[in-house]
Amino acid sequence: MRSVKQFTLENPKDFKQKLLHWSRQFQEVAWLDSNDYIQKHGEFDALLAVGAFTAIKTDYHNAFDKLQEYQETTKDWIFGYLSYDLKNDVEKLSSNNFDGLGFPDLYFFQPQKLFLLKGEHLEMHYLRMVDDEMEDDLVEIKQSAPASVQQEKVEESSAKTSKIQARTSEQNYLEKVGQMLKHIQRGDIYEANFCQEFFSENRVIDPVQVFQDLNAISGPPFATFLRLEEHYLLSASPERYLKKTGSKLISQPIKGTARRSEDSEEDSKIAENLKNDPKERSENVMIVDLVRNDLSRIAKKGSVEVEELCRVYHFKQVHQLISTISAELEENIPPVEALRVTFPMGSMTGAPKISAMKIIEELEDAKRGLYSGAVGYFTPNGDFDFNVVIRSILYNSEKEYVSFSVGGAITAQSIPEKEYEECLLKAKAMRQVLS
């Protein structure tokens, strides 16, 4: 079905830059970049998929069934996203909040051209119908200077810009966290992830440039540039949602955040405090329990285990507590079923999950859409890898609407003002590249 050719690259870093710029000509682009971050269970340094041969685009109604049929029919590489609102397909829930972006609930495509990078090694996987373009494309990519970045910056600065606004005022946010704490005191939930949207209307951006600026600030292991027609995701996500390799499943939820310091002694102290902070650890442990519970529904008996609990990982802007949970998938369970059973991810919902999602819908001011959903890919043999869409900018070029959301886990120990400060810390990089 695909022709495969292998090449050795003299300068992989330079090639990556050129490859992303070369992809600008396509309507469908999925660029996944690990930024050379040393991450357990990493597979590729980067992947680029371009040009849809086939695609599936749907709302949440029977979305997972449709995705399963598409994945089993194509038996090929497919790339795309699951929006948070697929919760309405999994449970009897609804999404009625304001939606300025208008993204489909689910969108996947089968690329005509695929590039896999690992170290100096490049593999090109082209559908047979376009495999005669392989050599020419490679020459074109190597010759294309990352289109003058200065020129792009000029175009960007002369484009439409408008102020970033908060959908929820600070006062309103504090009141809503107070309401969430009442739900916790009543025993409706133990924890919930509460988010707020920042947005800009009548705004034109250069998506590739904004993505590169955002990625340079954060350098995370699950960075993604996604273009599906007028819908763009520019993501600096540090979090893996779920990965399947053979029968092994891996989930790596993040809960617990602390700032970095330029002073190395202070920075080490901040990381150590995060590691031992009872509130941050309890947030993480609650989500680990939820993930274990989700995975146990599709795992071989006794195979669910916690490989790492509350380990501190260091990113350019923040320290994070990350846990790693693994399981063996029960035989005869389709790959898409593993996603359906665990979606949406516990780190972006709360515990108990359904109650948390109902309260989130009631208190948040904007529809989450792709934010806190997942982006990733399936391989021809049904393996997959998906990130969690956080630290991300969403853009509808037709509506000229730019949006990013941030949130945090609310538990019984939460102090509303501190939660608001954490939101602003998480929003810093997105705000910086948009201003």
Name the one residue in this structure whose structure tokens are 């990352």. 146
Is 193:362 a contact under the CB 8 Å cutoff? Answer: no
Find, among 431, 378, 377, the residue nearest to 403 by Cα.
431
Residue type, 165: Q
Residue type, 153: K
Q: Report whether the peptide linkage leading into residue 352 is cis, meaning its omega lies within 30 degrees of zero.
A: yes
SS3 235: strand
Per-residue pLDDT of the chain (435 residues; tens, 9 = 90+): 899 999 999 999 999 999 999 999 999 999 999 999 877 787 899 999 999 999 999 999 999 999 999 999 999 999 999 999 999 999 999 999 999 999 999 999 999 999 999 999 999 999 999 999 999 999 999 998 664 444 444 454 556 778 999 999 999 999 999 999 999 999 999 999 999 999 999 999 999 999 999 999 989 999 999 999 999 999 999 999 999 999 999 999 999 989 999 999 999 999 999 999 999 999 999 999 999 999 999 999 999 999 999 999 999 889 999 999 999 999 999 999 999 999 999 999 999 999 999 999 999 999 999 999 999 999 999 999 999 999 999 999 999 999 999 999 999 999 999 999 999 989 999 999 998
Return the pLDDT at 435: 87
How far is CA 339 from each of CA 51, 324, 355, rounded to the nearest angstrom? 25, 17, 20
Q: Return the H-helix or E-strand segment holding 353.
A: helix 353-363
Residue type, 327: A
| Active site (catalytic) residues | 239, 255
Tokens linked to 80: 């795309």
Find, among 316, 329, 326, 303, the residue nearest to 240 by Cα.
326
- DSSP characters for 141-159? HHH---TTHHHHHHHHHHS
Query: What pTM was computed for the model?
Result: 0.95
- Which phi and psi angles does 10 have, rounded to 5°? -80, -40
2-434 topology per CATH: Anthranilate synthase (3.60.120)
Tokens linked to 305: 């285990």
Find, among 225, 226, 205, the residue nearest to 399 by Cα.
205
Geometric angle at alpha carbon 15, from 9 and 17, rounded to 5°: 160
Length of the chain, in residues: 435
